[in-house]
Amino acid sequence: MNVNFSVNEACASSDGFTHWHGISWRQCEENVKRLQTRIVKATQEGRWGKVKSLQWLLTHSQSAKALAVKRVTENQGKNTAGVDGETWNTPEAKLNGLNSLKRRGYQSLPLRRVEILKKNGKKRKLGIPTIKDRAMQALYLAALQPIAETLADRNSYGFRPERSTADAREEGFKSLNNQQSAQWILEGDIKGCFDNIDHDWLMKHIPMDKQILKMWLKAGCIFNGEFIEIEAGTPQGGIISPTLANMALDGLEMKIDQKFASRTKWDKETKRYFKANKNKVNFIRYADDFVITGVSKELLENEVKPLVEEFLKPRGLELSPEKTKVVNIADGFDFLGWNFRKYDEKLLIKPSDDSVKSLLTKVRGIFDDNKTAKPEMLILKLNPILSGWAEYHKGAVSCKTFAYIDNQIWLKTWQWAKRRHPKKGRNWIKVKYFTRSGNFNWTFYGSGKGDKDVVTLFRMALVKITRHIKIKSEANPFDPKYEEYFESRLIFKMKKGVAGRRKLAHLWLHQNGICPVCNQRINDLDNTQIHHILEKAKGGPDILPNLIVLHPNCHRQVHSRGLTVGKPGRASDF
Q: Show pLDDT as tens, one digit a residue, over the chain (574 residues).
A: 343 443 333 333 334 578 898 888 889 999 999 999 999 999 999 999 999 999 999 999 999 999 999 999 988 888 889 999 999 999 999 999 999 999 999 999 999 988 777 666 677 778 899 999 999 999 999 999 999 999 999 999 999 999 999 999 999 999 999 988 999 999 998 998 888 999 999 999 999 999 999 999 999 898 888 888 888 888 777 899 999 999 999 999 999 988 886 655 555 555 554 555 678 999 999 999 999 999 999 999 999 999 999 999 999 999 998 889 999 999 999 999 999 999 998 999 999 999 999 999 999 999 999 999 999 999 999 999 999 999 999 999 999 999 999 999 999 999 999 999 999 999 999 999 999 888 888 999 988 655 557 899 999 999 999 999 999 999 999 999 999 999 888 888 777 766 556 777 778 888 888 888 888 888 877 778 888 888 766 667 767 788 888 888 888 888 877 777 765 554 434 3
For the chain, domains (ranges, CATH) are 353-462 (no CATH), 500-561 (3.40.1800.10)
Helices (H) and strands (E) in the chain, counts: 20, 18
Amino acid at 205: H
Q: How far apart are CA 112 and CA 219, in angstroms?
A: 11
Q: How far apart are CA 39 and CA 41, in angstroms?
A: 5
Q: What are phi and psi of 466, to 5 degrees?
A: -130, 125
Q: What is the 3-state secondary structure (H, E, C) of 378-440?
A: HHHHHHHHHHHHHHHHCCCCCHHHHHHHHHHHHHHHHHHHHHHCCCCCHHHHHHHHEEEECCE
| Alpha-carbon torsion angle 410, 413, 417, 418, nearest 10 | 60
Q: How far apart are CA 236 and CA 231, in angstroms?
A: 13
